[in-house]
Structures are given as structure tokens and as C-alpha cells.
Structure 1
Amino acid sequence: MMTNLFSVFDPTSSIFNLSMNWVSTMLGMLILPMMFWLIPTRTSLIWNKVISTLHKEFKTLLGENGLNGSTFIFISVFTMILFNNFMGLFPYIFTSSSHLSFTLTLALPLWMSFMIYGWINHTQHMFAHLVPQGTPPVLMPFMVCIETISNVIRPGTLAVRLAANMIAGHLLMTLLGNTGPSLTYSIMSLLLITQIALLVLESAVAMIQSYVFAVLSTLYSSEVN
């Protein structure tokens, strides 16, 4: 009997008391680099097209003041999150991107580096961001508090958004899948159609959430220049 509904997402499989579920996060290091050593295929050509499109978009978001090559940081983050999201769609593979320990590890260092760089090199610009243009003098202290709080919670919102969106679809698929043995054949066919539709939706969510994470990180980076 499962005591906690969310226990299905816990890393419980182990060998010699070592958790093996997080190994799925590292599988990309074995799979993804192969496309750079083999003869170009349709898959690699499509992926190069995706990378070039993301590079142009992130370059536009960063503006002229953005550092050269900084777009590839966010493309790498996008690739890592996308790979882990898709790995979680396969049966019996641990979804690492549904845990805050994974998402916060990505969001917190990015946000912290933006803040340290901005406050050291562009201090006046960072202070100007705390008071939006056109704010009445009476409301300035309140706006500084609100802007400071909204700035501090940014890594948390990035991490929670990704983890919550990934765990919600998986949890719904798990709940529907557990009701299968008690259903009749006619209702089972409807359940299979629903599960396939949810799987397609989760594939779209996997791409959208990795894109949202990368775009928001790029926007936060562009504010410190």
C-alpha cells in the first residue's frame, strides 16, 4: 500500500545503497555528443536548426550589451532540461526535473551569478531597476520593497514552475494508470486513449517548460547589463 501519493517520484532504486535513479540525468553525456562525431543526419540537422533559432532569439533578448557567447549558456540549459524532461516520459526512468533539488541547482546559481555581476559592475543600473519609471515619490519605498521581493523569489519561481509542471502530468498519468486493473474492457479503451493524449500533452509540456526556463533566465540576464 502506497502511504504517500508523491512517493512514486522518490529516488528509491539503489545498488549497494547508492541511489541509481539520478543516473538518468547523466545519460545525455553518453547519447548527445554522438551526433557531433558521426556523419550529419536529419536528426542532427534539425537540432542544429533549433540551436541556431534559439541563438538568434536569445541574442535579441540580450540586446547589444550582452556578452558574446552568453547565448550558448542558455542553450545548454535548454538542452539539459529538455533531455531530462523527455527521459522522464519513458517507463521506469526517474524524472529528475520534477525535483526541486535539480531545478534549484539550475536556477539558483544562474540568478546568483546575475545578481553578483550586476551589483558589482552596474550598481546604479541595478538600483534604478528597484524604482520603475514614473513612480510617485510617496510610493517609492513600497515599490523598492515589492521589486526587491519579486527579485529575490525569482529562482524559486523558476524552480517551482518547472518541477510543478513536470510532476503534475506524471501524477495524473500515474493516477489514471493505477485505476486500469479495476476497469472493464470498454472503459479501458477510453483510458488508453486518454493516456496517449496525456503523453502527447506531456511531450509538449517538456518542450515548453524547458523553453520557458531558458527564456526567463535570458530575460533576467538582460536586466543586469
Structure 2
Amino acid sequence: METLMAAAASRCPVLSQASAASRETLMRHALLRHVERGTCIFSHGAAAESGYILMGGWIKITRTQPCGAISILTLHAPGETFGFADSIRRLPRSATAEAATDCTILSVSARSICQTMRSDSSFGNAILSHSFQQNDSLLQQLEALKIFSGIQRLACFLLRHAKPGNGRHIVRLPFHKHLVAHYLGLKPESLSRSLAKLKEYGVRTVPDGIEISNPGALEALIGETSDIRHREIA
């Protein structure tokens, strides 16, 4: 388990900026958890006592409106972090985090995060930069919802989550596509139609996921060829 925690610290965009001594301190106050799909990691309004690193699986961040409607703010993939901003500000949780699949998460105590920020300026700067990047990503997501068509939003999502291997790019979705549709602001039938239209851009459904044979064609469809993956929340 210690090896796994050390690996998480080295690959995390925030923890990797901490000194070796700081990382060791943070890991002493970290807890590795395996949670089942549907498990609530934290609830909107609850005390923020930890920041999280997603080791495996997918996490959805949501907010529930007074009428009962649920908005999916973002989906987190393995290697990403969530819940840090509320923790360092010591504010109640601004949203709810729920396991969209079975997950492995590493939680780091808010107290140790704040102490390390004060003692390690590089780590403190990394935390601030990470928070700004997440805010920028939210603005970019809002922009995409306002100006991109459904097929363009789907193309953004696929490009961001595509993993290269064996000469191809594959997006593996371990959950039902209606979750992606909800996140992208589409109806499930609209998502299916958009996915069908993307066939002419080199996208097809295969047994192990969604295959992209020509990422450049999707970038051209979106109309932007640089940093496409940052059009989505990271």
C-alpha cells in the first residue's frame, strides 16, 4: 500500500510539486479507500476534511437543485484530483462527489495539506495554480455549452479521454452513455445521433470502447487544433 501511495504522490499534478519530505508527511496522513459504484464520497454542504486523488475508476461531481434536478458538473478520470479547493479554504463542500464506477481513491487530510502549504512554498504555489486551472476549465466548459454544437462537445470529451495504444486511440467508458449525455447537456438520443455522425470523422464503437482513428479530424471539427483537451474539466 505504501508503494501505491508513493506512486499516487509522484503522478499527482499537485503532490508531485511538493518536496520529498513534504510528500512523506502528506502520505502519513493519507488513507487509501476502495469504494463501490454509487458511494457518496462527500456531500454538498458537508465539512471539507480531505482532498482526494483518484487512483482508479470515475467520480462524478454534482449539485442538486431545490426542485430535485441533478446537474453533473464534471466527471473525473483516474489520475485526477478533486475536493482540494474546499479543503484548503476550510469551507463547506460546494458540490457532491459520488463514485460513478467502483473506485480507488486516496484521501489526504485537509490539515496536513494546509500545514504543508505553509512550510513548502512550491507545494503552495502548485495548489493555487491547480485551483486556478480548475476554475479556467469550468469557464471553458460553460463556453462550450454556449457556443459548441452537441457533436462538437462530444468530440471534445472523446479527445480529452482518449488513451493511445497499439496505433489507435481508445476511450473506455465503464458506465452507461446516458451519464456522458447528462454531463454534455444532451439527451441520450442526441448523444447517439452525434456518435453516429462522428463515424465520418474516424470514430466508431468497438468491443473495448470508442475508437478514434483520426484525432486531427475531430480537432478540425471543433475548430481548434491546440490544447483541445483543456476544453474539458481536468
Shared fold per TM-score greater than 0.5: no
Higher Rg: 1
Structure with higher RCO (Cα < 8 A, 6+ apart): 1
Higher helix fraction (1 or 2): 1
TM-score (norm 2): 0.28
Give TM-score scaled by structure 1 length.
Answer: 0.28
